[in-house]
Chains A and B, each alone.
Chain A
Amino acid sequence: MTMSEGDLAVTEIKFVRGATIAARPPPAAMTGALGWLRANLLSSPFNIALTILIALLLAWLIPELVKFLLIDAVWTGADRDACREVVQHREIGACWPFVWERWSYFVYGSYPIPQRWRVDVFFAMLAIGVVWLLWLEAPRRDLGSVYFFIVLPITSFILLTGWSAIGLPPVDTALWGGILVTIVVASVGIVCSLPIGILLALGRRSRMPAVRLFSVVFIEFVRGVPLVTVLFMASVMLPLFVPEEYSPDKLVRALVGIALFASAYMAEVVRAGLQAIPKGQFEGAMAVGLGYWQMIRLIILPQALKITIPNIVNTYIGLFKDTTLVFIVGIFDFLRTVEVARIDPKWAAPVTSTTGYAVAAIFYWIFCYAMSRYARAMEARLAQGDKR
């Protein structure tokens, strides 16, 4: 029975295709630019409306920006008349000659002109240190960290404040300003916050109740109050707490405030990293006979810091933006110099403020964006080991 049915079936088959037909191309409307448009911009009536709305917004915003920054901008001029509509009888965009003239003020503040080379040397040394540390293939990175965390702070302190014995006239910190101060405040915050933060994080996980209590109180207190109040505290209360003859100068007070504030945030970031280390690592380290600090230095921190690098960099971005707050306690950081320059009657024009703020925005944006890109690249690189 089955045989005959099988035979029947075989005889009924008239044609069997030997080769598969090549797949037909998808309809033109689904591929290429058109398909992409359909899938990504015009997939539903709501999406079409949204696309049109956003396109209109961009069509208004981008030309306005380009017009302001480039096309209508003033490129040369000696004073405010170059940038005023009533004088020039045309639409006026950004007032760039104001920036050219004020640029050295933005960079150095009131640092004495014959001494400004010292600031340049400081910038160059800092750049070398940053590249040495951040470029992972750089030679002798161990020396790099010694350079960055020990050599650089000492030499730049001598270089910037001056030391009469080696022929560098002292420069009062009240004269410092602009990008110099912004970079100094940010670097002090960055250099101080990591070690203090690590100590606080370890203290918070310590088995000694007094140490733990102190760390918790410090961290929660500082994180619970705004930076502005910490800076106020540093600038009005710190001078009260030290004997009159040692009263620190304004910049140092702000630096103390920023460093304490950044340390508390850093402590929480590091603590998250410490918590991610499995208990076995601690136990293993103890089992091979390492002492507490050896265990922390050789086993725990290398692993904990590795996984927290992206978060550390994010904290640094926040810190870099927060340096602008020293403005409020009367320190001439970059933003403050822009603020002072923009109300200078010599350049008083309707566009001066916007130009100044645009320059400041571009400056901060470039630094913060570069840091966040670095953090993301680092994250991807570190994740490679865990990929399967």
Chain B
Amino acid sequence: MSIDLPTGSPPARVAFYNDPKVRSIAYQVALCAVIGFLVYAAARNAIANLERAHIASGFGFWNTTAGFDISQALIQFDSQTSSYGRAFWVGLLNTLLVASIGIVIATILGFIIGIARLSKNWLVAKVAAGYVETIRNIPLLLQLLFWYNAVLKALPEFRESFVIPGGIYLNNRGLFIPQPIFKDGFGWVLIALAAGVIGAIAFYVWARKRQEQTGQQAPVFSVGLALVIGLPLVVLALAGFPLAFEFPAAGRFNINGGIEILPEFAALLFGLSIYTAAFIAEVVRAGILAVSRGQTEAAYSLGLRARPTLRLIVVPQAMRVIIPPLTSQYLNLTKNSTLAVAIGYPDLVQVFTGTVLNQTGQAVEVVAITMAVYLTISLATSLLMNIYNSRIALVER
């Protein structure tokens, strides 16, 4: 229904420069013009500066022979033949290696400390709080330097290395542990492991369905454990232990054989895990506190004991609060792994943005590729997080 305007009065009119639509378009055009000009000026300057410095542009360097060595490479890398592109992959894999192991350790440590902060045991709660307050308030870089220079580099020299029974050596060049060697027939063990995992999942699904229908519980944990660990062990025994270890041996100048864990790697792993654990502990504590007391009390009044209450009532609800900030802590850990450059662990930044950039001088390309990698990781994670969030969001009436 239209409203009758008093006849004769012209529609209210504003000067065109006061029209919100016109203004909004003008502002946006101005913003685009400014940004466009800045980008144009930057590009022009960059081209001029690069020409003056005789630096080629483009991604041609990718296939050029690198000519430097990397102290830790998960894939074959050779300074004589491998290219800059291969160096990039080596660095990326090293970053992913330290980040993924760090995430596992930080999660375990963080959950323990977060729960300890809420413990009824006064001493435990205070020590956990002290840990969080100390670690959180000291820069990560300082902690990394401490672990690397004051702890790991201060270990005894090669000749006086600590020998731990089981063929493990520890000295200031790193930790040397036995390397497993898989012989023929080990494939059966892997198949058994896969079968065990699938069986455990199937049993879990079946047990859950049965519980929903009949209310009867099945021993999911022990059966799952038997399937995942027991089955491969039985197959291992049946196949006649197709597994051997190459033990590190002290040579004249160095330790040969076995797996070498670099002190740089260990320092970075310690530093990242310990630092991130303090933040994860706070996330976990906030998540548990977010579950209202009424939930626990209701569970008690239904007759559940403390442990099932925690497992069935508190944790599932706390996880809803915990998981989004937990993911952002994982991202922080991954991004913080770039501090590797300060202690010389060959991660993506140290290898690519450090050495490759210095050798080729192609700052724009190298920095852009590095940023694209981290951006991809971050955006992919937040995409997954958004999907997860919308799935677990409380469905309200």
Which A residues form the contact surface with B (CB < 8 A)? Answer: 39-41, 43, 47, 50-51, 54-55, 57-58, 207-211, 214, 220-221, 223-229, 232-233, 236-237, 239-244, 317, 321-322, 324-325, 327-328, 335, 339, 342, 350, 353-354, 357, 360-361, 364-365, 368-369, 372
**Complex contact B49–A229 (CB within 8 A):** no
Which residues of B in the span 95-152 have a Cβ within 8 Å of any Cβ on A? Answer: 119-124, 127, 133-134, 136-142, 145-146, 149-150
Residues of A within 8 A of B336 (CB): 226
- Give the distance in Å from the alpha carbon of A93 to the alpha carbon of B50 in the complex: 53
Q: Does B378 contact A (CB under 8 A)?
A: yes
A41-B123, A224-B378 as given contacts; A244 in contact with B31, CB under 8 Å: no
* Bound form: Cα–Cα A207–B375 in Å: 26
Contact A228 B341 (CB under 8 A): yes
Interface SS majority for chain B: helix
Interface on chain A toward B: helix, strand, loop, or mixed SS? helix
The one of A51, A353, A361 that contacts B121, using a Cβ cutoff of 8 Å: A51
Contact B31 A210 (CB under 8 A): yes
The interface residues of chain B lying within 8 Å CB-to-CB of A357 are: 142, 145-146, 149-150
Contacts of B142 in A (CB 8 A): 324, 335, 357, 360-361, 364
B46 proximal to A (CB < 8 A): yes
**Complex Cα gap A82–B367 (Å):** 47
CB-based contact A369/B133 at 8 Å: yes
CB of B349 closer than 8 Å to a CB of A: yes
Kindly identify, within residues 44 to 69 of chain B, every residue whose CB is under 8 Å from any CB belonging to chain A.
Answer: 45-46, 48-50, 52
- Do residues A225 and B139 form an inter-chain contact, with CB atoms below 8 A? no
A239 to B127, CA, bound (A): 48
Cross-interface CB contact of B150 among A40, A41, A211, A354, cutoff 8 Å? A354
Cβ-based interface call for B202 (8 A): no
Q: Is B27 an interface residue (CB 8 A)?
A: yes
Q: Is B42 in the interface zone, CB < 8 Å from A?
A: yes
Question: If the complex has contacts A50-B124, A220-B379, A240-B50, are A321 and B150 also in contact, measured as CB distance less than 8 A?
Answer: no
**Which one of A54, A208, A224, A322 lies within 8 Å of B124 (CB-CB)?**
A54
A211-B28, A328-B341, A357-B145 as given contacts; A54 in contact with B123, CB under 8 Å: yes
- CB atoms of B363 and A240 under 8 A apart: yes
Chain A residues contacting B124 (CB-CB under 8 Å) are 47, 50-51, 54
Known: A241-B45, A328-B341. A339 touches B145 (CB 8 A): yes
Number of A-B contacts (CB under 8 A): 152
Known: A50-B121, A208-B24. A221 touches B375 (CB 8 A): yes
**A residues in contact with B31, CB < 8 Å:** 210-211, 214
Residues on B with C-beta less than 8 A from A50 are 119, 121, 123-124
B46 to A241, Cβ gap below 8 A?
Answer: yes
User: Quick one: closest B residue to A55, CB to CB?
Assistant: B123
Out of A54, A237, A240, A324, name the residue touching B141 (CB < 8 Å).
A324
Residue of A nearest to B38 (CB): A241
* B181 on the A face (CB < 8 A): no
* Chain A hits for B225, CB < 8 A: none
Shortest distance in angstroms between A51's beta carbon and chain B's nearest beta carbon?
5
List 14 other contacts, CB 8 Å, given A232-B349, A321-B138: A40-B120, A43-B120, A51-B124, A58-B127, A210-B32, A226-B349, A232-B353, A236-B357, A240-B50, A321-B140, A325-B141, A335-B139, A354-B146, A361-B146
B374 within 8 A of A: yes
Q: A208-B24, A210-B28 are in contact. Are A364 and B121 (CB under 8 A)?
A: no
Shortest C-beta distance, A68 to chain B (Å), equals 12
Contact between A225 and B335, CB atoms less than 8 A apart: yes
CB distance from A347 to the nearest CB of B (A): 14
Q: Is the CB of B371 within 8 A of A229?
A: yes
What are 29 A-B contacts defined by CB distance under 8 Å? A40-B121, A40-B123, A43-B121, A47-B120, A47-B124, A50-B119, A50-B121, A51-B123, A51-B124, A57-B127, A210-B28, A211-B27, A221-B371, A226-B374, A228-B339, A229-B349, A232-B370, A233-B371, A237-B363, A241-B41, A241-B42, A242-B45, A244-B48, A324-B141, A335-B142, A357-B146, A364-B142, A368-B136, A368-B137
Across-interface contacts of B120 in A (CB, < 8 A): 39-40, 43, 47
Is B234 located at the chain interface by the 8 A CB criterion? no
4 closest cross-chain pairs (CB), A and B: A224-B378, A368-B137, A210-B28, A226-B335
Q: Are A244 and B367 in contact (CB under 8 A)?
A: no
A327 touches B123 (CB 8 A): no
* In-complex Cβ contact of A225 among B138, B140, B342, B374 (8 A): B374
Question: Is B35 close to A, CB under 8 A?
Answer: yes
A241 to B367 Cα, complex, angstroms: 14
- Interchain CA distance A95-B335 in the complex, whole Å: 35
Interface residues of B in 315-352 (CB under 8 A from A): 335-336, 338-339, 341-342, 349
Contact A223 B378 (CB under 8 A): yes
